[in-house]
């Protein structure tokens, strides 16, 4: 039975039930903190605003990491997925990345149901208009109705909704997503009450077409894996595989006719008519941006992907666009297999406010306002997985701060999530940030297959991984170790530790043995880096006294006040020589302190 919130006070309030908000709220509720999740429309919980797919290159690693620590995205994906593929199988395991095409309605329903069953979690449909702050500490929220609700922490995860403007060719109107209102008052409050600086980004989504209007005989099908791998450690692989009914995706290409249409009308795209001036994701550009950027390329791939088991809508992955509706139709119909395709939803561009995450510390708490955490697309990232990873960590750290426990900062050598949060909070960004394997310098050690070995201890320590699950994990780890030391080690016939089957043990061992040499080199580098990484910078360290630092470097160091030399080294515009100089001054500072004491 749910606990009744008698006095209307909560320990945690999460604003927004997108991918970040759901993870944050679940983590806090699991940590037994009374949590309120406020969202604009409860029918759209965990809505997939764009592509109904989870995972993919580097993103799949993020989902497995969230799952290993007790998050929920992987569990829901396994239940709502309609096609599963391990990408990059032909390359090394370091870059294997699981991906699932999902039934988007089912995904949202299942997440909603899961949240509703949580004892310590209440959900409320409303708009948050203000974050309440006194003496730079947050103490709750105010709703559009005027109602005030108090809490110890507030986690804001409002995605593309802050001052969102939707563009369809020359037309534009307010909206956080198509047919959903944008959030303007909260933007103002983040600025005025919380002292956060806001900036603008944009992104686009493609048209969806009716499956019955596609000529599949002209297209190549793209099938899922015959032995699919689930995302979650909680999924029973055997029965899951037995019940999974996979649907095909399809592949087609743009052509000369498509490119001519786009080039002749480029001035009509909302991206190019000066209305949308902000930056879009470089790696997920609109088709008109691709044609301008690669003028010599004769065709671009378009994947045609189902949106659900019971839906006839097909998503045109690669045909993101800001063109007016009549041109979208011509562009779609110029493509092989889509000559007669009828559009169910038009693509559009959206421009929105984001908070440059350089204003947050490594736990995702705002430097300006104690108790205010931010996660997801509001932090300038793009993608469901990036959002969920931040939402999860913001939730965990908000919870730990209430419980008076040490917060968790994952290092770059421990997890992709560590790389993500380290990058965005130290370097900031000037275009929407998405995860890539190339961003992770230790990708050989932080693979999708070993997320559990890297992170399940943490999940268990914060009570998000049950004792029962953890016990099985320990048995798996022990078996791995014993087999590593002695490959003749006898495994009892009754070894059943789902999901860590004997095949999994063998696969993990093979991967480790194959890369052992490289992994050991990487581990040594990590150890060396950790020395610097952990070298503390004294709290009242005066950068202004160091003449050899540039004024730009001093400005950023004074603003961020890094706690360690490692943190300083990753700040935007801080060079290796700056780090060496700071190191010398730390030693000088410490020597002088000792002399003063004597």
Counting runs of H as helices and runs of E as strands, what totals does the chain give?
17, 21
Q: Does 127 bind ligand FAD (CB under 6 A)?
A: yes
113-136 exposure pattern, b = at least 16 Cβ within 10 A, e = fewer: ebbeebebbbbeebbbbbbbbeee
Residue choice 138, 158, 437, 479 for contact with ligand FAD (CB under 6 A): 158
**Beta strands 313-317 and 208-210: pairing type?**
antiparallel
Q: Does 302 bind ligand FAD (CB under 6 A)?
A: no
Residue choice 186, 194, 358, 389 for contact with ligand FAD (CB under 6 A): 186
Q: Does 52 bind ligand FAD (CB under 6 A)?
A: no
Read off the DSSP letter of residue 81: E
> What string marks each residue from 341 to 360 as x (binds ligand FAD by CB under 6 A) or -?
---------x----------
Q: How far is the CB of 179 from ligand FAD (least distance, A)?
A: 11
- Asked if 357 and 428 count as a contact pair (C-beta separation under 8 A), the reply is yes
Q: Which residue, 384 or 585, is less far from ligand FAD as judged by CB? A: 384
Residue choice 101, 138, 377, 448 for contact with ligand FAD (CB under 6 A): 377
Residue found by looking up tokens 């004892």 in the block: 119
Strands (E), 115-164: 121-125, 128-134, 137-143, 148-150, 153-156
Residue choice 13, 20, 155, 435 for contact with ligand FAD (CB under 6 A): 20
Q: How far is the CB of 4 from ligand FAD (least distance, A)?
A: 22
Q: Does 205 bind ligand FAD (CB under 6 A)?
A: yes
Contacts of residue 461, Cβ cutoff 8 Å, sequence gap at least 6: none
Q: Does 80 bind ligand FAD (CB under 6 A)?
A: no
Residue choice 17, 36, 114, 286 for contact with ligand FAD (CB under 6 A): 17
Residue choice 61, 108, 138, 157 for contact with ligand FAD (CB under 6 A): 157
Residue choice 31, 50, 106, 511 for contact with ligand FAD (CB under 6 A): 50
Q: Which residue, 178 or 470, is less far from ligand FAD as judged by CB? A: 178
Closest CA to 201 of 361, 369, 434, 388: 434
Q: Which residue, 201 or 543, is less far from ligand FAD as judged by CB? A: 201
Binding span for ligand FAD by CB under 6 A among 36-44, 304-312, 411-419, 464-472: 36-44
Q: How many CA atoms lie within 13 A of 206 on its CB side?
A: 24
Binding span for ligand FAD by CB under 6 A among 34-42, 191-199, 467-475, 528-536: 34-42
Rounded Cα–Cα distance for residues 176 and 164 (Å): 5
Closest CA to 245 of 98, 106, 108: 106
Residue choice 34, 88, 97, 183 for contact with ligand FAD (CB under 6 A): 183
SS3 assignment, position 386: helix
Rounded Cα–Cα distance for residues 392 and 373 (Å): 11
386-402 exposure pattern, b = at least 16 Cβ within 10 A, e = fewer: bbbbbbbbbbbbbbbbb
Rounded Cα–Cα distance for residues 60 and 51 (Å): 15
Angle at 435 between CA 429 and CA 439, to 5 degrees: 80
Binding span for ligand FAD by CB under 6 A among 154-162, 193-201, 235-243, 357-365: 154-162
Residues 228-287 that bind ligand FAD (CB under 6 A): 284
- Asked if 141 and 374 count as a contact pair (C-beta separation under 8 A), the reply is no
Q: Does 40 bind ligand FAD (CB under 6 A)?
A: yes
- What number of chain residues touch ligand FAD (CB under 6 A)? 37
Residue choice 10, 96, 107, 161 for contact with ligand FAD (CB under 6 A): 161
Q: Does 39 bind ligand FAD (CB under 6 A)?
A: yes
Residue choice 14, 15, 75, 131 for contact with ligand FAD (CB under 6 A): 15
Binding span for ligand FAD by CB under 6 A among 79-87, 101-109, 376-384, 476-484: 376-384
- Asked if 369 and 137 count as a contact pair (C-beta separation under 8 A), the reply is yes
Binding span for ligand FAD by CB under 6 A among 33-41, 62-70, 104-112, 541-549: 33-41
Read off the DSSP letter of residue 407: P
Q: Does 112 bind ligand FAD (CB under 6 A)?
A: no
**Beta strands 128-134 and 97-102: pairing type?**
unpaired
Read off the DSSP letter of residue 500: S
Q: What are 476's two structure tokens?
A: 């798996």
Q: Does 93 bind ligand FAD (CB under 6 A)?
A: no
Rounded Cα–Cα distance for residues 400 and 1 (Å): 25
Q: Does 38 bind ligand FAD (CB under 6 A)?
A: yes
Q: Which residue, 29 or 549, is less far from ligand FAD as judged by CB? A: 29
Q: Which residue, 285 or 399, is less far from ligand FAD as judged by CB? A: 285
Q: Does 121 bind ligand FAD (CB under 6 A)?
A: no
Binding site for ligand FAD (CB under 6 A): 15-21, 38-41, 44, 49-50, 127-128, 157-161, 176-177, 183, 186, 203-205, 284, 320, 350, 376-377, 382-384, 387
């Amino acid at each position: 039975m749910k606990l009744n919130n008698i006095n209307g006070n909560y320990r945690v309030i999460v604003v927004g039930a997108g991918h970040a908000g759901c993870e944050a709220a679940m983590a806090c509720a699991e940590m037994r903190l009374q949590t309120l999740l406020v969202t604009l429309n409860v029918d759209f919980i965990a809505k997939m605003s764009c592509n109904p797919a989870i995972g993919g290159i580097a993103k799949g690693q993020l989902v497995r990491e969230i799952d290993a620590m007790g998050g929920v995205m992987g569990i829901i994906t396994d239940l709502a997925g309609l096609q599963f593929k391990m990408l990059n199988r032909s390359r090394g395991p370091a870059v294997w990345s699981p991906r699932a095409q999902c039934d988007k309605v089912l995904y949202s329903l299942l997440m909603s149901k899961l949240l509703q069953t949580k004892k310590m979690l209440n959900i409320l449909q409303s708009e948050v208009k203000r974050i309440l702050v006194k003496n730079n500490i947050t103490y709750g929220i105010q709703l559009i109705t005027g109602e005030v609700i108090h809490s110890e922490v507030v986690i804001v995860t409002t995605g593309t909704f802050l001052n969102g403007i939707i563009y369809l060719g020359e037309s534009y109107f307010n909206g956080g997503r198509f047919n959903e209102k944008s959030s303007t008052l909260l933007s103002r409050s983040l600025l005025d009450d919380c002292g956060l600086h806001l900036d603008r980004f944009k992104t686009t989504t493609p048209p969806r077409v009716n499956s019955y209007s596609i000529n599949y005989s002209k297209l190549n099908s793209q099938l899922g894996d015959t032995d699919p791998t689930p995302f979650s450690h909680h999924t029973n692989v055997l029965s899951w595989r037995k019940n999974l009914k996979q649907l095909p995706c399809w592949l087609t290409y743009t052509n000369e006719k498509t490119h001519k249409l786009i080039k002749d009308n480029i001035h009509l795209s909302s991206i190019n008519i000066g209305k949308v001036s902000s930056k879009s994701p470089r790696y997920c550009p609109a088709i008109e941006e691709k044609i301008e950027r690669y003028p010599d390329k004769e065709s671009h791939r378009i994947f045609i992907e189902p949106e659900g088991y019971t839906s006839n809508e097909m998503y045109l992955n690669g045909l993101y666009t800001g063109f007016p509706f009549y041109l979208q139709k011509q562009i779609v119909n110029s493509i092989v297999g889509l000559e007669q395709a009828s559009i169910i939803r038009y693509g559009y561009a959206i421009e929105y406010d984001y908070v440059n995450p350089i204003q947050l510390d490594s736990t995702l708490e705002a430097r300006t306002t104690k108790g205010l955490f931010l996660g997801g697309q509001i932090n300038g990232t793009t993608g469901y997985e990036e959002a969920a990873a931040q939402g999860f960590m913001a939730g965990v750290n908000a919870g730990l701060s209430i419980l008076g426990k040490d917060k968790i900062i994952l290092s770059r050598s421990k997890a992709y999530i560590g790389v993500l949060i380290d990058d965005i909070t130290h370097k900031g960004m000037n275009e929407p940030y998405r995860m890539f394997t190339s961003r992770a310098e230790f990708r050989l050690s932080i693979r999708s297959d070993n997320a559990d070995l890297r992170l399940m201890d943490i999940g268990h320590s914060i009570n998000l991984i049950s004792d029962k699950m953890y016990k099985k994990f320990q048995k798996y780890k022990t078996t791995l170790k014993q087999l590593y030391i002695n490959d003749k080690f006898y495994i009892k016939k009754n070894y059943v530790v789902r999901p860590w089957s004997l095949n999994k043990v063998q696969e993990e061992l093979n991967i480790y043995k194959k890369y052992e040499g490289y992994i050991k080199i990487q581990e040594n580098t990590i150890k060396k880096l950790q020395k610097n990484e952990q070298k503390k910078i004294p709290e009242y360290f005066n950068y202004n006294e160091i003449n050899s630092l540039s004024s730009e470097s001093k400005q950023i160091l004074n603003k961020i006040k890094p706690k360690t030399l490692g943190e300083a080294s990753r700040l935007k515009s801080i060079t290796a020589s700056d780090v060496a100089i700071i190191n010398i001054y730390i030693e000088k500072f410490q020597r002088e302190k000792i002399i003063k004491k004597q």
